[in-house]
Amino acid sequence: MNDGPLIVQSDKTLLLEIDHPLASDARKAIAPFAELERSPEHIHTYRLTPLGLWNARAAGHDAEQVVDALLTFSRYAVPHALLVDIAETMGRYGRLRLEKHPTHGLVLSSTDRPVLEEVLRAKKIAGMLGNRVDDDTVLVHASERGNLKQALLKLGWPAEDFAGYVDGEAHPISLVEDGWAIRKYQQEAVESFWHGGSGVVVLPCGAGKTIVGAAAMAEAKATTLILVTNTVSARQWKDELIKRTSLTADEIGEYSGSVKEVRPVTIATYQVLTTRRKGVYTHLELLDARDWGLIVYDEVHLLPAPIFRMTANLQARRRIGLTATLVREDGREGEVFSLIGPKRYDAPWKDIEAQGWIAPADCVEVRVTLPEGQRIAYATAEPEERYRLASCTHAKIDVVRRLVEQHQGQPTLVIGQYIDQIDELAELLDAPVIKGETPVKERQRLFEAFRSGELSLLVVSKVANFSIDLPSAEVAIQVSGSFGSRQEEAQRLGRLLRPKAEGKTAHFYTVVSRDTVDADFAQNRQRFLAEQGYAYRIIDAADLDVAP
């Protein structure tokens, strides 16, 4: 028996008791190879996955280090089978190498011939490879570099990519740190990305991912393509880049539905890239328009599948992915790993919150009871109608009104899913609405007004979920969401977490109808927040006035 803070379970989860004196040492030791799965108040759960172990290998850790970390901090004996499994899994990485051959170009080579033979016989891979150069080397079609890596990952023999990157067209970019400074963790993130070549940086919303992107560009000093989720966030990137770097407005182009500029630094939306006309992606040439030295993917977890396929062709360029969570509702984390790169840096929300970089949040679930008439309507409704009925109940409107009154004067966002519900709310609260059909100009004007404090209440639909910087928001009230998506919850909470003046606490309310599917979905969200370490309070709508 060893009195360590870590318990290694046979299902490959690691339980870390965080009140233990050695907890932070243990966390540092296991963070490189284990994925943090949940971090509630007492015991954090990490999971060992092949991806995580390969990530660690890619970052230069070996199996001996992993085993040693487990043995050192484990309270109970570590199952031997697990240790063997770790050694085996990590041993699979790098048996195959993608290299630049001086005469043959891109080749796949192996130090372990049987492995090479095995993958050569896989049907999926056959088309991507050319002739055998010798027993241990085989030609790779340059355009298949990404697809090959992806396919090899699926076969369980991830290839280490030594083929290097093209430098791209040089362009001077540097950070201009006047009145602000890059934070330590941001610097670390950029460094570990740069050493790794390509990869994903995971930081909580509000922790300044844009700065990480800007710093990466300053490191690359080359023309850059930035892919973002929507136009508003494209404009925000542009503003931020002008503010934080030596780039001027003339050097930054926007490539979206309305404007098509290709400049040394071009910001394009996912949507415009995936637009198809007659089955052809019309804007693909953008990817080849310049000799890009760096490609930045904002919100990697939202990267649409077609972009994956395009990315497969960009393997020779440096890629950085930025995200708050690697959780993809479609489970394609593995593709992010093989196409953009392994996770290069992450920090748990709570750690960054403790450092004061993101605001602490108080999460409250307010339960309303459906009025009798609506309960009957709900009980007899078709299953697909139920959620809408439950989440759009009028009982919620009254609660929202009271909450808004309570937080009078604090910048407040009311977030909803259903347009008629938010329209109704807006009318009642006498507040402006931002929804899908709001023109970009109008949106920007409203966001600007909200940011400057001129406007203290805004009703938004789900368009505001992502990448819209509203640093001043202190209160968010969500009345309906898309069926309890964890990622949506993270994003919405993220809106609130930009650090506040005087270290104020943000308030995050979710209004939920009791005894309905709405409450069931809320449980999903609640679990997500609890797993992120946010204590979650539940109060009844009736007790609302009493509560702080």
Shortest distance (Å) from residue 499 CB to other proteins: 24
* Residue closer to other proteins (CB basis): 177 or 543: 543
Shortest distance (Å) from residue 398 CB to other proteins: 22
* Residue closer to other proteins (CB basis): 93 or 270: 93
User: Phi and psi (nearest 5°) for 463?
Assistant: -60, -25
* Residue closer to other proteins (CB basis): 40 or 432: 40
* Residue closer to other proteins (CB basis): 20 or 445: 20
- Return the amino acid letter for 158: P
Shortest distance (Å) from residue 515 CB to other proteins: 7
* Residue closer to other proteins (CB basis): 211 or 522: 522
Greatest CA span in the chain, whole angstroms?
79
* Residue closer to other proteins (CB basis): 12 or 141: 12
Shortest distance (Å) from residue 173 CB to other proteins: 43
Shortest distance (Å) from residue 77 CB to other proteins: 2
How many CB atoms are closer than 10 A to CB 382? 7
Kindly give, in sequence order, each residue whose CB lies less than 8 Å from that of residue 31, ignoring residues fewer than 6 positions away. 346
Shortest distance (Å) from residue 50 CB to other proteins: 16
Contact 541, 395 (CB under 8 A): yes
Whose CA is closest to 546, among 370, 366, 361?
366
Whose CA is closest to 148, among 197, 99, 101, 103?
99
Shortest distance (Å) from residue 520 CB to other proteins: 9
* Residue closer to other proteins (CB basis): 240 or 520: 520
Burial, 148: exposed, middle or buried (Cβ in 10 Å; 0-12, 13-18, 19+)? buried
The DSSP result for 321-336, as a single string, is EEES----TT--HHHH
Distances in Å between the Cα of 361 and the Cα atoms of 57, 66, 259, 459 are 36, 34, 38, 20
Distance of CA 147 to the CA centre of its chain: 23
How would you classify the pairing of strands 96-101 and 159-161? parallel
* Residue closer to other proteins (CB basis): 144 or 489: 489
The footprint of other proteins (CB under 8 A) covers: 1-2, 7-11, 13, 15, 17, 38, 40-43, 45, 71, 74-81, 83-84, 87, 515, 526-527, 530-531, 534-538
Burial, 330: exposed, middle or buried (Cβ in 10 Å; 0-12, 13-18, 19+)? exposed
How would you classify the pairing of strands 96-101 and 105-110? antiparallel
* Residue closer to other proteins (CB basis): 45 or 472: 45
Shortest distance (Å) from residue 276 CB to other proteins: 42
The CA distance from 415 to 411, in Å, is 13
Shortest distance (Å) from residue 46 CB to other proteins: 12
* Residue closer to other proteins (CB basis): 49 or 192: 49
Shortest distance (Å) from residue 7 CB to other proteins: 4
Distances in Å between the Cα of 96 and the Cα atoms of 4, 75, 115, 198 are 37, 36, 8, 18
Whose CA is closest to 200, among 58, 29, 307, 65?
58
CA neighbours closer than 13 Å in the CB half-sphere of residue 102: 0
Shortest distance (Å) from residue 489 CB to other proteins: 13
Distances in Å between the Cα of 448 and the Cα atoms of 71, 329, 423, 441 are 53, 32, 21, 10
* Residue closer to other proteins (CB basis): 281 or 528: 528
Token pair of 284 as six digits:
């693909």
